[in-house]
Structure 1
Amino acid sequence: MTSRVAAPLRIGPYQVDTPVVLAPMAGITNAGFRRLCREQGAGFYVCEMITSRGLVERNPLTFRMIAMDPDEHPRSMQLYGVDPATVGAAVRMVAELDLADHLDLNFGCPVPKVTRRGGGAALPYKRRLFEAIVKAAVDNAADAGIPVTVKMRIGIDDEHHTYLDAGRIAADAGVAAVALHARTAAQRYSGTADWSAIARLRDHLPAELPVLGNGDIFSAADALAMVAATGCDGVVVGRGCLGRPWLFGDLEAAFAGRPLPAPPTLGEVAATLRRHAVLLCEHMGDHKGIRDVRKHIAWYLKGFPVGPEVRQRLGLVSSIDELDELLAMLDPGQEFPADAEGPRGRQGSPGRVVLPEHWLDDPEDASVPLGAELDHSGG
């Protein structure tokens, strides 16, 4: 890792030297976690998925979820919608109220409650509806100078690939970048991402339009390998940073051609975990914040020989003081274990994609499915 392998990433008027995007993850990429990641290295850091309907109807939970730190820049928001009119209205609201600097459209979610309504990874199959949504977002963001990007998957399943058509439609509609999670919706998070699809998409779209790759990036070496193998202009990191926000520091060093920082000791991991807890408490309140950090603890401690009693007590921690007491029981000098590397977070198994009735009958049908819009945010 002696030289830069990718240029700085530009999305609209915004540029970062490290071509890295934090993928929006429900229940994870809140303001506290984003700050923790931003403290490690440069990149675009996207908030949890926000529904266009929740935004337009000024749902209180949605508005709490779009809270950004005063120094967060650019402010990146991911928006989900199935109705072009609702998406357009939501983007106008973002522009008029100055809620974000960059908007990403979700066409990659494989969760059944989303796909059964025709949303997420199911939607690009309906080419004309997909086009109408993207154009509604781009057109309503244009006057405010807000760049719009899209994130999608290879397709619904191996018989219904959509990414090349969707990429071209998005490019023609004026998006600022296209990101591809190199799995189908049917794969969910199982198996191996097909990086060759990212390479095909890069070759298929105009050279000046950034194409970002997503899938199976669990280390800086993975990111460099993806860029080298596909020619993509940057990477999107999701599960790889769970319990290891310092991955963004590794990525910054790797893309700049610098040696990677030494892996953290258990003491340094514990300090990062505590910092995460404090940030969550600041943003969510003490009670909710400390409860929210519990789900992160197993990811932070993955591979470390921490006893089952301490792990169990940490999983039930109820205050910062109690967290301090338990973290003090750990051996701070323990080196980062080799078996902590690799996949983390949800993987699951492949399965049939739940779709609206007759969804696959006509890919040119632009009608909006009945009851398609989700009224709650966060995926």
Structure 2
Amino acid sequence: MVQIANILLPDFPLLLAPMEDVSDPPFRFVCKQNGADLMYSEFISSEGLIRDAIKSRQKLDFTEFERPFGIQIFGGDEEAMALSAKIVDTVQPDLVDINFGCPVKKVVSKGAGAAVLKDVDAMVRLTAAVVKSTSLPVTVKTRLGWDDSSKNIEEVAERLQDVGIKALTIHGRTRAQLYKGEADWSLIAAVKNNPRIHIPIFGNGDIDTPQKALDYKNRYGVDGVMIGRAAIGYPWIFREIKHYLQTGNMLPLPSVEERVEICRTHAHKSVEWKGEVLGILEMRRHYSNYLKGLPHVKEYRTRLVTVKSLPEVDGILNEIKEKFTGIVLERQVIPLSEDQLPACAC
């Protein structure tokens, strides 16, 4: 078992990354169905929570089915971070996570997210303020450093542990890399192998197949892995990894019927949570991922992204299911297009 304070997780847990505009309750539901062990909200602005901004408050929503569940906050002001942690307390998730990894300009320009990697003392103060203001376990997600000349994650890990965090997730890129190039897990392994470190260390970056998950588990010794972009449109990644770790064998790929039904569940949950207009609109980014590799996929995607009601979506999905029953699509690990990428996946 892996333990984060009083939260018990299975051996080598699989975490779903907090991805802006992706990791909402409907998406988390289908990932949980398929084996995600620990999930987080989309990242939430501490300033937004304090101002009672509607979008920020909505991101606090979660269901009992999703537990254990963490809410992730970000910000660059100690008082705002402390106050927002108190607000998070009121909805009683299982933990509070701090985002020190988001590389996007609108976050970094406010001295938040990955910007804090340039000032470890400030990172420590912000973290301590959150730890002191909440009764919940506090965890952190961050990157290796700001750029190649300042990979300070080993110092960061020790100092954050010293002020009370209960787990650390490390994305194997610097802020300067954004999402480009290959993630470097050697420094993640260095943190895990540091005899001073006793909290769980989770690795993140480039895990997109069961084989890679097993390889990285064995090679780097992390306590678990966090999966982000590889789960978009493919929540089966969690069950596939678990099965492969346990048996050494690959599960059969999901059939068209399975793909359609998970897509349908996602769409219905989206409408249930957001209402029909917004639920249908925000579901549009997911269709091509669920149906990747399907013959004539562009034709069906074009129709799905133009309809405006759930019965119309169901009708097209039924048509796809009937037409392609029995077909098993090949697994395609290819980069997402710009419109499919999360606004921030740290």
Q: TM-score, with normalisation over the residues of structure 2?
A: 0.92
Number of the residue aligned with 1:294: 284
Any idea what SS the aligned residue of 2:235 has? coil
Deviations 1:111-161 (A, max 9, x none): 0111122211120221111110011111222xx2x1111111111111222
Find the aligned partners of 1:80 and 1:104 in 2 and give their Cα distance. Answer: 9
Unaligned residue ranges in structure 2 (runs of 5+): none
Q: Matched residue of 1:328: which SS? A: helix
Partner of 1:40: 34
Distance 1:170 1:198, change over 3 A: same
Structure-2 residue corresponding to 1:62? 56
Partner residue, 1:356 = none
Q: Does 1:76 pair with 2:70?
A: yes
Q: Is the 8 A contact 2:285 2:339 kept in 1?
A: no
After superposition, residues 24-35 of structure 1 pair within 5 angstroms as 24-35=18-29
The reply on whether 1:100 has 2:90 as its aligned counterpart is no
Deviates more, 1:75-84 or 1:256-265: 256-265
* Counterpart position of 2:300: 310
Shift of 1:73: 1.6
Tell which has more relative contact order, 1 or 2 (C-alpha 8 A, sep 6+). Answer: 1
Per-residue deviation, 1:260: 4.1
What do the CA deviations read for 1:314-336 (whole angstroms, capped 9, x no partner)?
A: 22232222112222332132212
Note closer, same or farther for the CA distance 1:37–1:11 as it changes in structure 2 (3 Å cut). Answer: same
Structure with greater helix share of residues? 2
* Residues 24 and 46 in structure 1, CA contact (< 8 A), matched pair in contact too: yes
The 1:254–1:207 alpha-carbon spacing in structure 2 relative to 1, beyond 3 Å, is: farther
1-side partners of 2:50 and 2:297: how far apart? 48
Q: Which aligned pairs between 1:169-248 and structure 2 lie closer than 5 A? A: 169-204=159-194, 206-248=196-238
CA deviation string 1:27-85 (max 9, x = no partner)? 11111111111111141111100111122222222111211113332231011011111
Aligned-residue Cα RMSD (Å) equals 2.2
- Structure 1 residues 110, 212: closer, same or farther in 2, change over 3 A? same
Q: What's the secondary structure of 1:26's corresponding residue? A: coil
Task: Provide the aligned length of Structure 1 versus Structure 2.
Answer: 339
What's 2:105 paired with? 112
* Amino acid corresponding to residue 126 of structure 2 in structure 1: I
Task: Tell me how far 1:92 sits from its aligned partner.
Answer: 2.1
Instruction: Report the Cα distance in structure 2 between the residues aligned to 1:279 and 1:205, rounded to whole angstroms.
Output: 45
Q: Is the 8 A contact 1:42 1:252 kept in 2?
A: no
2:124 matched to which residue of 1?
131
The amino acid of 2:282's aligned partner reads D
Q: Percent identity?
A: 32
Q: Is the Cα–Cα contact under 8 Å of residues 37 and 68 in structure 2 kept in the other structure?
A: no
| Greater than 4 Å deviation, 4+ residue runs | 345-348
In the alignment, structure 1 segments of 5+ residues that lack a partner are 1-7, 349-376
- Name the CA distance, whole Å, in 1 between partners of 2:188 and 2:345: 26
Give the match's secondary structure for 1:48: coil
Give 1:128's aligned amino acid: D
* Alignment deviations for residues 294-352 of structure 1 (CA, whole Å, 9 cap, x no partner): 101111122232343222112223222211222233213221214x125446599xxxx
Q: Distance in 1 between matches of 2:178 and 2:300?
A: 33
Residue-by-residue CA offset, 1:231-253 (whole Å, 9 max, x unaligned): 11110110010001111222332
State yes or no: 1:277 paired with 2:271: no
Separation in 2, partners of 1:243, 1:16: 25
Amino acid of the structure 1 residue aligned with 2:76: V
User: What secondary structure does 2:269 align onto?
Assistant: helix
Question: Residues 205-233 of structure 1, C-alpha deviation per residue, up to 9 Å, x if partnerless?
Answer: 63521111000011222211111111111
CA–CA distance in structure 1, aligned partners of residues 91 and 284 of structure 2:
33
**Counterpart AA for 1:130:** M
Give the conservation status (yes or no) of the 8 Å contact 1:216–1:343. no
